[in-house]
Amino acid sequence: MVILTTNIPSEIAGAFKSGTFSLHIKGGAGTGKTTLALELGRQFLDGGAAIYLSARVKPEKFYRLFPWCESYIPLENILDVKSDILSRDKEHTLFEYVDRPSFFRSLYSRVAEAGVEHITMILDGLESLKHNVKIPENDYSIEYDILEMAEKLNVNVIFISETDGESKLDYLVDGIIRLEKEFIDGQLLRKLYIEKIRGMRIENSVYLFTLKDGRFTCFDKGIQTYLTTADFPKVERREGKISTLIPELDNVLQGGFNRVSLNIFDIGNGVGVEHAYLLTPMFFNFIRQGYPVFSMPSKGIYSTDLLRYIPQSVMEKEIFDSLRRYFHVLRPSTFIPRTTDIYNNYFFEGIDPEEELNRLKQIICRVLNETQSDTPIVSIASDTMGHIYGSKYLLKTVQAWIHQIKQLNGVIILFQFRHSPLKSLTHLASSYFKVENMYGNILFYGQNPKTKLYVAGLDISNKYVQTRLTQIE
């Protein structure tokens, strides 16, 4: 038996292994209830089956909406629950009943004759089903009967209802999931709440998810990691643009960062050093394209920390040599480097900002000449800059750096933390993005240009590491 659990929370997937689990999925219209239920029904790919009952969706429409279900839910398992059987085409009638007893006899026979070990019964639209069987909405006898049938036949059962509030059904079932959608800065965010899982500990009660490509995909806590075996992507150079090699970001930026530009990443509370782990591959991608990078990382980040997600097979001698040539780290004078640091470290005391900026210009010009490059990439973390020069002079110092680096045809990437007095710079930025921590996931979205919400992760292969942005739809 093959069990697929990658798209749904482990707590729910584990509960369905018992074979007699009952679940109530509730939420408003368009929250993804049916898609989640169908993903759960798909868990048992080998030696299992799903039976789908609905009073609202005909089989032909069902396959149109969920084409990926055709391979595991055959036509005979899509039960079109309509009470008016006389008006239907007898040739295509898949499930018919005249009254409540005949409804249960037909359902019992269909489940009992399925002939597989693991069955998940999905009842989509309890309200419509009750209406068709002529049962009052506050009468839960049909739920009792279905649960008793499921227990007797050793099958899982999923009830789907259009409600957000508490109902009597919640006390009858083994698990409760509520789906919700909200908007952040006008962009859609989808959330899954696990309200009850009988007999199991709930490790995480809230998950973010997407319905991208018509599939239910839940995001685990922490940095998302994906494993591929793809070759390093080819760079399609565009005039005046520098590719980030993050496909979704390049698409938003119409090819990459503009040359001679300020680009701001606003780092929210709770993100911490994870912003560096997620965006550092972008710096390595600049280096691969032949652009030297000068990075002033956030406080507490060591150069070697930034390598923790890079596979050992990537860290070959030529990569080390390339990093020694192209990667330059700007540090406070109080910083003590690790002996394992392989990059060029430059230290700033903060006593004479003008003199230190001139020294930085000289370093950049020397490196540009040595690497035969015409564009430096300069990354500045506002917390480290504030530590060196003090919050009182932070804005003035950053403005001076931006002006001088642009004079050198440079691209500035500013990591701006909420406590820093740099908000006035956003109107000068060619691009402005926000990075937020939401329920343990790192959300990424653009204010300029405006984008959808993305969950950020790392795509790791045996050849390269790439930041990956998965859109919430």
Which of 191, 228, 181, 216 has its CA nearest to residue 440?
191
Q: How confident is the model at residue 315 (pLDDT cuts 50, 70, 90)?
A: low
Residue 87: its pLDDT value, please?
39
Summarize pLDDT for 261-275 with one digit per residue, the tens.
999 999 998 898 888
- Are 412 and 263 in contact by the 8 Å Cβ rule? The answer is yes
- Are 211 and 190 in contact by the 8 Å Cβ rule? The answer is yes
Summarize pLDDT for 164-209 with one digit per residue, the tens.
888 899 999 999 999 999 998 889 999 999 999 987 788 889 999 9
- Are 55 and 132 in contact by the 8 Å Cβ rule? The answer is yes
Which of 196, 195, 104, 194 has its CA nearest to residue 144?
104
Q: Does domain 225-471 correspond to CATH entry 3.40.50.300?
A: yes
Residues 110/113/114/120 CA torsion (nearest 10 deg)? 60
pLDDT at 6 over 60: no
Q: Looking at per-residue confidence, does 310 or 343 come out higher?
A: 343
pLDDT at 94 over 50: no
Q: What tokens appear for 382 in the block? A: 């506002």
pLDDT at 84 over 60: no
Task: Please tell me the CATH superfamily of domain 10-220, with its number.
Answer: P-loop containing nucleotide triphosphate hydrolases (3.40.50.300)
DSSP state of 418: T
Residue 312: its pLDDT value, please?
53
Domain with CATH 3.40.50.300 in the chain: 10-220, 225-471
Summarize pLDDT for 232-243 with one digit per residue, the tens.
666 666 778 999
pLDDT at 421 over 90: no
Residue 411: its pLDDT value, please?
97
| Euclidean distance between CA atoms 66 and 68, whole angstroms | 5
Summarize pLDDT for 214-230 with one digit per residue, the tens.
999 999 887 777 776 66
Helix axes 394-407 and 353-371, enclosed angle (nearest 10):
30
Which of 43, 34, 44 has its CA nearest to residue 160?
34
Q: Looking at per-residue confidence, does 254 or 222 come out higher?
A: 254
Pairing state between β 241-242 and 431-438: unpaired
The average pLDDT across 411-437 equals: 87
Query: What is the per-residue DSSP string for 84-128?
Result: -GGGS-GGG-----SSHHHHHHHHHHHHHTS--SEEEEEEE-HHH
The strand pairing partners of 209, in sequence order, are 218
Sheet containing strand 175-184, strands side by side: 78-80, 48-54, 118-124, 156-161, 22-27, 175-184, 187-197, 206-210, 217-219
Q: Determine phi and psi for 107, rounding to 5 degrees.
A: -65, -45
The average pLDDT across 148-160 equals: 90
Q: Looking at per-residue confidence, does 51 or 308 come out higher?
A: 51
Give me the percent of the chain exceeding a pLDDT of 90: 40
Summarize pLDDT for 288-298 with one digit per residue, the tens.
888 999 999 88
Residues 358/418/299/443 CA torsion (nearest 10 deg)? -110
